[in-house]
Chains A and B, each alone.
Chain A
Amino acid sequence: MIDGFRRKLAPLRILTDEQIEVVHSGALSTLRETGVRVEHEASLKLMKDNGCEVDFGKRIVRFSSGLVEECLRRCPSSFRLRARDSEKDVIFGGDVTYFKNSVGQMTVDLDSLEPRVPTEKEFLDALKVLDALENVHVLGPYTPYFGHEGVPPVMSIPSTCAAKLKYSGKAQLEGVQKGSEVFCIKMAKAVGSEILGLMNAPSPLTWGSDVVEAAYRFAEADFPVQVASGAVMGGTAPATIAGALVLTTSEILAGIALVQLRSRKPVKVLPGTFSFPMEMRSGLPAFGDIGVSLYQIAFNQIWRGYGLPVYNSASGYCSSKGIDFQAGYEKAIACLLSALSGANLITFHGSVSAELTFHPVQAVLEDDVAGMIGRLVEGIEVDDETLALDLIKKVGPIPGSYIGEAHTRKWWRREQYLPKAADRLSYPEWKEKAKKTCVDYAKERVEKILATHAPKSLAPDLEREVNEILEEARRYYEEKGLV
């Protein structure tokens, strides 16, 4: 199993118990009275058979509170996500925090800040960097890019899924598009790993047919399912944080009811959030807005209260177009607050300019920030040795010093977090070393990783099998006229 960060602080709370109660009862009454539109035909009958009130014409399902709460109880409070390399397995739940990368449709030229489709080599290099970074515990969907030169859009998910399985042993999430889950599940099974499948609600209060079908397939394979809402505050959700919480809680509870009622075995569920306020000039996501964190802190509190692990995804994106101060504060603040409020999985590394671009240099910089956040949530150890009373007595007042003490040598490295790509030189040294910035150091680290890192390779017969499944996907989409 891979080490995440064990949070030793009480999680940050932003809502009172009464406020949580009214959000919860608001969600239950929304599910009971307004209901949710379920566009998956077979599920309508399934819900009817389970006692829901179903309007087959409008495809609206109204859920009783008892049924919703029963389905919630079926979700295990923690579960393992098996990686291709068992040393990289993760267990979601309790007080452990993991980080995963964010994604970009394209790469970005760091001088001109122009986005462009990456070459296959750039795609694989970026993947290699993510495999090497110690604080990327899990690989995201569509990672690191939505594809690369020569990959038709409809093949982007099977193709990136295959690349992740071939060139990294880490656990992974995967999205769905036009039945891609069939091939991803097959590939993961072939190499003995699992996939955390995405089930994302197109808000407001709707579950689309494709994602529901895909979630059923993931559950059937006994893979865990991330049930999330990406409601946009002010667009597809109320502009208020409280209203958005009621809406998304309703959507996720309905999603959980669908997967749990369909499956004979309890389904492993990771509730997630990809909600953010709308940027009211452009209609684009207002990534980096403090509303993202206000919402996520409350979301984490509510879902921890339900006894389930939680996943925060909007924290990993910024509105800034380049690797700069704005990108740094937008993502660092959001990820720090996600960790402090008890998220078990946090999206972070690599994206620049919302979801438009990804760059491995950004991922390297953010690996340091993730390490710092991780160090923070691990808290302060207080015992006889760390209190150091004997040592304080021994060193005494000036001219006493701690610098040469064995206690210092033993402890300073544990107490500090040593960033790998930050400038901490004295001014004269900095001037001598060509005034290098953290970005220069990060570029050097990327080069070093590419020259030296060797991902744990996949056995040749398994790689062949993955390639065959990928070919099968291509033929399938070709026959459908989509390639």
Chain B
Amino acid sequence: MSRRIYTKIRVKRSKLVDGMTGSDILGSLKRAVAEYDADATEVWARKAVEEGVDPIRAADILSEAIKEIGDGFGRGVLFIPDLIGGAEAMKSAMRVLEGEIKRRNVRRENLGTVVAGTVYGDIHDIGKTLVCTLLTAAGFAVYDLGVDVPAEVFVKAVKEYKPDVLAMSALLTTTAPELRKVIDALRSGGLRSRVKVIVGGAPISDGFAREIGADGYSSTAVGATELVLRLLGKKGES
């Protein structure tokens, strides 16, 4: 039953598109993010590509939309489910837009690149995902490696994506030592000086972060964005 209603809505939407301008499409794309509708953002992103809308402009619109959600979170009127819902809606449109960006061989400006993940042996996802979402909202290109990420995968990602920042999460006292392992692996791979490393998670403290040789620590997801901006000397640009 619900599936049928849903299909109807989609049909209605694609009808609406006929004769729409690029800015109508971008407005709909932005509204779909604000409505946390990952199916609709994908539809509008495809439509944008079909109608020849600049994919960089569309990606910027997505960032604006996610930034508004991030601001709402910061003001305490939106909550984690909204942030995650917004991020999912953005991702499904980005998958479409990234293909087009590649095809046109253009480059999207961003504040910097961040690789993020939860360490090996630890499957806690939420804190790390929040940090990724808020960093994306702030204008960074973020590569989320997921959870339970072995040290060698972090090292490989640092080599491949050449990020400005590596952000790692550990939520257990037993997995916190993994953070040090990754930092040591970066050092022995000669990569440590190329990337700023930030850490977070319930058992982590400022002192612990310093002790393992990280560049920074934040106790909250909002604080993590400020930390990255500060570390990269970009405070105020967001």
The interface of chain A, by Cβ under 8 A from chain B, is 105, 146, 153-154, 156, 177-178, 202, 234-235, 239, 278, 280-283
Please name the residue on chain B nearest to A208 by beta carbon: B123
Which chain A residues lie closer than 8 Å to B174 at the CB level?
153-154, 177-178
**Chain A: minimal CB distance from B134 (Å):** 13
The contact of A283 among B76, B123, B126, B173, by CB within 8 Å, is B126
Q: Return the CB mask of B60-103 against A: 1 if under 8 Å, else 0.
A: 00000000000001001001110000000000000000000000
**Distance in angstroms between the alpha carbons of A281 and B76 in the assembled complex:** 8
Which chain A residues lie closer than 8 Å to B173 at the CB level?
105, 146, 153, 156
Query: Are B123 and A202 touching (Cβ within 8 A)?
Result: yes
**Chain B: minimal CB distance from A473 (Å):** 15
**Distance in angstroms between the alpha carbons of A282 and B171 in the assembled complex:** 14
Query: Are A281 and B126 touching (Cβ within 8 A)?
Result: no
Among B79, B123, B130, find the residue whose CB has the most chain A CB atoms closer than 10 A.
Answer: B79
B203 is an interface residue with CB less than 8 A from chain A: yes
Beyond A156-B173, A283-B80, list 20 extra A-B contacts (CB 8 Å): A105-B203, A146-B173, A153-B173, A153-B176, A154-B174, A178-B174, A202-B123, A234-B81, A235-B126, A239-B81, A278-B80, A280-B80, A280-B81, A281-B73, A281-B76, A281-B79, A281-B80, A282-B220, A283-B126, A283-B127
**Distance in angstroms between the alpha carbons of A280 and B221 in the assembled complex:** 13
Closest 8 CB pairs of A and B: A280-B79, A283-B126, A153-B173, A280-B80, A153-B174, A283-B80, A283-B127, A281-B79
Say whether, besides A105-B173, A154-B174, A234-B81, A283 and B130 are in contact (CB < 8 Å). Answer: yes
Q: Return the CB mask of B166-205 against A: 1 if under 8 Å, else 0.
A: 0000000110110000000000000000000000000100
**Chain B: minimal CB distance from A283 (Å):** 4
Which chain B residues lie closer than 8 Å to A154 at the CB level?
174
**Distance in angstroms between the alpha carbons of A462 and B220 in the assembled complex:** 47
Which chain B residues lie closer than 8 Å to A153 at the CB level?
173-174, 176-177
Which chain A residues lie closer than 8 Å to B123 at the CB level?
202
**Distance in angstroms between the alpha carbons of A146 and B176 in the assembled complex:** 15
Which chain A residues lie closer than 8 Å to B177 at the CB level?
153
CB contact list, B190-238 vs A, under 8 A:
203, 220
Which chain B residues lie closer than 8 Å to A283 at the CB level?
80, 126-127, 130
**Chain A: minimal CB distance from B88 (Å):** 15
Please name the residue on chain B nearest to A232 by beta carbon: B126
**Can you list 26 contacts pairing A with B, beta carbon distance less than 8 Å?**
A105-B173, A105-B203, A153-B174, A153-B176, A153-B177, A154-B174, A156-B173, A177-B174, A178-B174, A202-B123, A234-B81, A235-B126, A239-B81, A278-B80, A280-B79, A280-B80, A280-B81, A281-B73, A281-B76, A281-B79, A281-B80, A282-B220, A283-B80, A283-B126, A283-B127, A283-B130
Q: Return the CB mask of B94-133 against A: 1 if under 8 Å, else 0.
A: 0000000000000000000000000000010011001000
Q: Return the CB mask of B151-174 against A: 1 if under 8 Å, else 0.
A: 000000000000000000000011
Which chain A residues lie closer than 8 Å to B130 at the CB level?
283
Please name the residue on chain A nearest to B219 by beta carbon: A282
Which chain A residues lie closer than 8 Å to B203 at the CB level?
105
Which chain A residues lie closer than 8 Å to B76 at the CB level?
281
Please name the residue on chain A nearest to B126 by beta carbon: A283
Which chain B residues lie closer than 8 Å to A278 at the CB level?
80
**Chain A: minimal CB distance from B72 (Å):** 12
**Distance in angstroms between the alpha carbons of A352 and B123 in the assembled complex:** 26
**Distance in angstroms between the alpha carbons of A281 and B221 in the assembled complex:** 10
**Distance in angstroms between the alpha carbons of A154 and B174 in the assembled complex:** 7
Please name the residue on chain A nearest to B130 by beta carbon: A283
Please name the residue on chain B nearest to A283 by beta carbon: B126
**Chain A: minimal CB distance from B68 (Å):** 17
**Distance in angstroms between the alpha carbons of A127 and B171 in the assembled complex:** 26
**Chain B: minimal CB distance from A358 (Å):** 15
**Chain B: minimal CB distance from A282 (Å):** 8
